[in-house]
Amino acid sequence: MASIASLQNEKVKTMAALLEKKHRDRSGRFIIEGVHLVQEALHAGADVETIVVDTERGVPSELRTLLGQTDCELIEATPAIMAKCTGTDTPPPVFGIVAKPLADASALYKADSLVVVLDGVRDPGNVGTIIRSADAVGADAVVLGRGCVDLYNPKTVRSTMGSLFHLPVIEGDLAELLPEAKQQGIHVVGTSLQASATCYNYDWRGPTWLLLGSESNGLSDAALAQVDTRIIIPMHGRSESLNVAMASTVLLYEAMRQRRYA
C-alpha cells in the first residue's frame, strides 16, 4: 500500500478536484465516501480504481477481506488529505475513486418496465432517496433529465446509500427519451394536483414511466405534454404536500404492491 503525506501531491490534487463537476465530467470519475459505499461498489463489481484509507485509523475491519481480493490501487493518507478529498464535515475513514459506468439504456424499454424519470429535480438528497426507493421496489432504471442535480455530486452519491450501483441510473434528454418511450408503448404517468384519478386507481402493471418534477415548480410544460395519465396522491390530514422523494416512494410502493402482491 502506497503512502501519501503531502497535500501538494499531484495525486491528491487530482482526487480532490473530483469534488467539482467539471473535473468529474472531464475525467469520467467520481468519489465514493465511507465504508458502506466502498463495500457496495466492490460487491457490485463497479470499476473502483483507487481506495484511500486514513493512516491513523487504518483499514476498516469491514473492508479487510474485500481489499485483499481487489487489484485496485490502495493508498494510505493523512487525515488532512482525507479531509481535502471528501465533502463531509467529518472525513470518513476510507474513500474511493470510481470510473463512471457506461449508460445502459436497454432496461428502459422492457415489456414490463417500471422506470422513474426525473425532470429538473435539483436536491441531491431527494434524488438519492428516489434512487434508493426505486432500488427497493425493484424498478428497472432511473432517468435524470437535464436540469437535475449531477448524479455524481458527492451528496447525491452518499444519499443513494449504494443503490447507485444496483440499477441503471441514466442521465439523458427527456425531449428525446419520452417520445421514444411512448412510441414503444410505454405509458407515461405524472402527478398533478388537478388530477381526479388517485395513485391507487391507476393500473401500474403495464410498462410505466413515472415522471416526477422539481421540488418548487413540478413538471415542466414540455414534460407535462408527454404525460398520458395524471394522478394524485390522496391526503386526508392537514399537510399541504409531500416532497418529491416521499411522493416517489408512495407511488413506487403502490406499483410494487399491484405488480407483486395483488
Q: Who contacts 137 (Cβ-Cβ below 8 Å, separation ≥6)?
A: 114, 252, 253, 255, 256
Q: What is the pLDDT of residue 196?
A: 84
Q: What is the pLDDT of residue 251?
A: 98
- The series of mean pLDDT values per 10 residues for the chain, 262 residues long, is 95 97 97 97 96 96 92 96 90 97 88 96 97 98 96 97 96 95 96 87 96 88 94 91 94 98 91
CA distance 37 to 210: 27
Q: What is the pLDDT of residue 56?
A: 95
According to CATH, what is the number of the domain 2-99?
3.30.1330.30
Domain ranges for the chain: 2-99, 105-261
Fold of 105-261: Alpha/beta knot (3.40.1280)
DSSP string for residues in the chain: -EEE--TT-HHHHHHHHTTSHHHHHHHTEEEEESHHHHHHHHHTT--EEEEEEETTT-S-GGGHHHHHH--SEEEEE-HHHHHHH--SSS--SEEEEEEPPPP-GGGGG-TT-EEEEEES---HHHHHHHHHHHHHHT-SEEEEETTSPPTTSHHHHHHHTTGGGTS-EEEE-HHHHHHHHHHTTPEEEEE-TT-SEETTTS-TTSSEEEEEEBTTTBS-HHHHTT-SEEEE----SS-----HHHHHHHHHHHHHIIIII-
Strand partners, 188: 209
Q: What is the pLDDT of residue 104?
A: 82
Q: What is the pLDDT of residue 105?
A: 86
Q: What is the pLDDT of residue 163?
A: 97
pTM reported for the whole predicted model:
0.95
